[in-house]
Amino acid sequence: MESWFCWIHLVILFRTIWASSTQYTIHQAQVSFDRAAEDCYPGVLTTIATELEVADILGLISQSTSPNQKEFTFWIGLRKVKNQCVVPTLPLRGFKWTEDGSEDSQVSRWTEEPKYTCTSVRCAALKGEWDGSKVTRWGLIPVTCKNSYQFICKMRDIAAPEPPTPAAPEPPKPTAPEPPKPAKPEPIPATQKTEPANPEPGLPFPGLKPETDLKPENGPELKGPDPNPGSDSCQHPVIISARSISFHNSSRIQVECWSRDQVELRCSGHPAVWRLLDNSPASFTTVCLPCGNGFRKDISGNCVDVDECGGSSLPCRHICLNMEGSYRCFCSDENGKHHNEDSPACADKTTSVILIPVLAAVAALVVLLLFVAVTVKCCLMRQSKKPARKEAEKMAMKSNDGRDSFETANEKAP
Report CA 264 to chain centroid distance, whole Å: 10
Q: Which residues contact 248 (CB under 8 A, 6 or more apart)?
A: 254
**Mean pLDDT of the region 76-96:** 91
Q: pLDDT class for 73, splitting at 50, 70, 90?
A: very high
Does residue 97 have a pLDDT over 90? yes
How far apart are alpha carbons 124 and 120 in whole angstroms? 13
How far apart are alpha carbons 398 and 400 in whole angstroms? 5
Q: So what's the pLDDT on residue 34? A: 93
**Mean pLDDT of the region 286-301:** 85
In the chain, which segments carry CATH 3.10.100.10? Answer: 2-155
**CA angle at 102 for the pair 98 and 106, rounded to the nearest 5°:** 110
The whole-model pTM stands at 0.38
What CATH number was assigned to the domain covering residues 2-155?
3.10.100.10
Q: pLDDT class for 18, splitting at 50, 70, 90?
A: very low
**Mean pLDDT of the region 45-51:** 92
| DSSP line for 155-194 | E-S---PPPP---PPPPPPPPPPPPPPPPPPPPPPTTS--
Does residue 16 have a pLDDT over 80? no
Three-state DSSP at 42 gives: coil
Single-letter code of the amino acid located at 316? C
Q: pLDDT class for 74, splitting at 50, 70, 90?
A: very high
Q: pLDDT class for 235, splitting at 50, 70, 90?
A: confident
Distances in Å between the Cα of 201 and the Cα atoms of 196, 197, 207, 217, 356 are: 12, 12, 12, 17, 88
Three-state DSSP at 29 gives: strand
Encode pLDDT of 126-167 as tens digits. Answer: 999 988 788 888 999 999 999 999 999 998 654 444 444 545
Instruction: Name 304's bridge partners.
Output: 296
